[in-house]
Structure 1
Amino acid sequence: MRNHFKQAKFVSQITWTVEMDAILIENSGLDIQALEQLLNVEEIEIQERKRILGLIKRNRQLRKIF
């Protein structure tokens, strides 16, 4: 049986636009520093948005295939 831990809710300090989401999705393979410069957003904001959009899980699944 799995132990489910409550994760602290992250409250974003910025409002993500559709354009920012599109840039993040298209460039999700870049490293965090490059994305920070491209989007002008902090690392933790980028990581949380990637989690919300499902990009982290998607990358993990793609690594298993290849």
Structure 2
Amino acid sequence: MKPISIEQLILTQNQQYNRQKQWITFKVSELEMQALETYCQQAQRSKTNVLRETIRQLPTYSSFSTNS
């Protein structure tokens, strides 16, 4: 097995990471957006981070996460 450089390893990991990510776009009301933005500012977290955590708390998430 041929050794690989750290740069090659990082590139490979980044490519795998990018392939695994998907985009979601949806509409929210002004009130919902204000609530999310206010929470994120107070918690010093990104909207992406908060929404990912919310998805991970869904009862169906655990059945998918064990297959990754």
Same fold, TM exceeding 0.5?
no
Higher relative contact order (CA 8 A, sep 6+): 1
What is the TM-score when the length of structure 1 is the normalising length? 0.30
Q: Give the number of the structure whose residues are more often helix, by fraction.
A: 2
* Larger-gyration structure (1/2): 2
What is the TM-score when the length of structure 2 is the normalising length? 0.29
